[in-house]
Amino acid sequence: MLTLKQIQDNKQEVIERLKIKNFDAVNIVDQIIELDNKRKSTQTEADNLQAEMNRLSKSIGQLFKEGKAEEANQAKETTAGLKEQIKNLTTQQDSIETELQNLVVQLPNLPHPSVPAGKSADDNIKVREGGLIPQLTEALPHWELAKKFNLIDFELGVKLTGAGFPVYKGHGARLQRALIAFFLDEAIAAGYEEVMPPLMVNEDSGFGTGQLPDKEGQMYHVTADNLYLIPTAEVPVTNIYRDVILDGNQLPVRNCAYSACFRREAGSYGKDVRGLNRLHQFDKVEIVQVAHPEKSYVVLDEMVNHVQSLVEKLGLPWRIMRLCGGDMSFASALTFDFEVYSGAQERWLEVSSVSNFETFQSNRLKLRFREEGEKKTQLAHTLNGSALALPRILAAILENNQFEGGIKIPDVLVPYCGFDVIA
C-alpha cells in the first residue's frame, strides 16, 4: 500500500509511474489528496476544540471557588456543547479514514524505474538465458509420460476432487518429494531459515501481502470460518512479521518454506493448461526476505542468482524475463520471471517469479525496523520468490530427459529419490 506521504508529496510521479502498469490513477489520487486534506483540517478543528474544552474545564472549579457560580455554570454548558462538537467531528473523521483507506488500497505499487512499458507477457524483456535446448525426436509430452510410467494419475484426481488436483504415484511421488527436499536444502545452505506455515490464513494476512482485496476471486475461501487457503507460502511467512518492529542489525531476515498452494485459476482451460501446466493445487518452496531499503535491490539480485543456480543444477534450459508493467502483479515494484524450456511441448514454461515489493507490503503489515541508537522507525522492504514451483519443473524434467527406454533423473536428485532412471 502506498503511503499518504508518497501520494501527497509526489502526486504527478505516482500518476506517471502507474501508467507503466496501465493504471489510470488520476481520479483516485485526486480523491485521496482531497480526503487527506479534509482529514487533516477536521483533525485540526477537533484538536482546537479539545484544547478550548480543556481550558474551560480547568477554569470551572476556580470560578466556583471565587463565587462566580453563574460564569461557572455557563462554562459547563459551553464545555458540554464543545464535547458534542468533538464527538461529531470524531464520527466524521472515522468516516473519512474509512473512505480514504478504501481508495488507497485500490492503487497498485509503483513500478521500479527499470520496469519496461507493455501490456502483456509479449512485452517482457529477456535478461539472460542458459542451458541447452534438448533435441528430441518423437518426444512425448509429460502427461503421456506420466501415464506410460504410472507417475501421475490425472483422472483419479478428477474423481477425488476435480480437474487440477493430480495424484502422484510411485516414482512420481518420490520424485516430487525429492524436489521439495532438494529445494529446501539448497535454500537452507544459502542462509534461509526454514519454517512450516499454516495452509490457511485470515483476512488480515491476505490484506497484509496484497492478496486482498485484489485477488479474492483467485483464492479458495473457507466461508464458515472466513479463512483462505494460501495461494503461496509467501502469505503466511511474510505475515510472521506483521505488526513487528525489527532491529536494524537483524536485517536481512531470510525464511524459506515448503507448502501446498491453492489457486482457483478461474477460466483456465485449453492445451496450454493441460497436465501439470496449470493446477489448482501444487507444491512450491518459497524464499522470503525482509531487507533494509538501501540494500533490497542487492538482495533481489541475490535471490535471482539463487533461483538461477537451482535450474542450472537441474540441467534445464532457462531464461530470465524482466516483466513489463502490464504483466506485473498488483503489489510488485520489480519482478523477474524464470522460464524453463519444455522439450516435448516446444515452449517456455514459467516456474518462478522473484519480486521486490519495497514498502508496499510492509506498510500494510506495519512491518518496521529501527536503526541502533535511533528512536524513529522505518518501513522495511519485503521480497519473495519461488525456489521453486514444482509442477512445470517436473514437467520439463520428464520431457527433456526422456529417451527411448525411459527417463533419466538429474544427478542432483538421485541421492534424494534413490533412483537414477524411470523405466
Q: Which residues are annotated as a binding site for L-serine?
A: 232, 263, 286, 384
Cell of 274: 493441460
DSSP conformation class of 162: -
Closest CA relative to residue 389, chosen from 334, 347, 352? 352
How far apart CA 68 and CA 35 sit, in angstroms, is 44
- Which residues are paired to 285 by β-bridges? 258
- List residues forming the annotated binding site: 232, 263-265, 286, 350-353, 384
Residues 6+ apart with CB under 8 A from 377: 245, 368, 369, 370
Cell of 417: 529419490
Residues 6+ apart with CB under 8 A from 348: 319, 339, 340, 341, 342
DSSP per-residue string spanning 85-130: HHHHHHHHHHHHHHHHHHHHTTSPPPPPTTPPP-SSGGG-EEEEEE
How far apart CA 403 and CA 130 sit, in angstroms, is 22
Distances (CA, A) of 61 to 71, 83, 100, 359: 11, 18, 41, 51
Residues 6+ apart with CB under 8 A from 97: 39
How far apart CA 212 and CA 331 sit, in angstroms, is 11
Cell of 228: 483462505
- List residues forming the annotated binding site for ATP: 263-265, 350-353
How far apart CA 17 and CA 113 sit, in angstroms, is 8
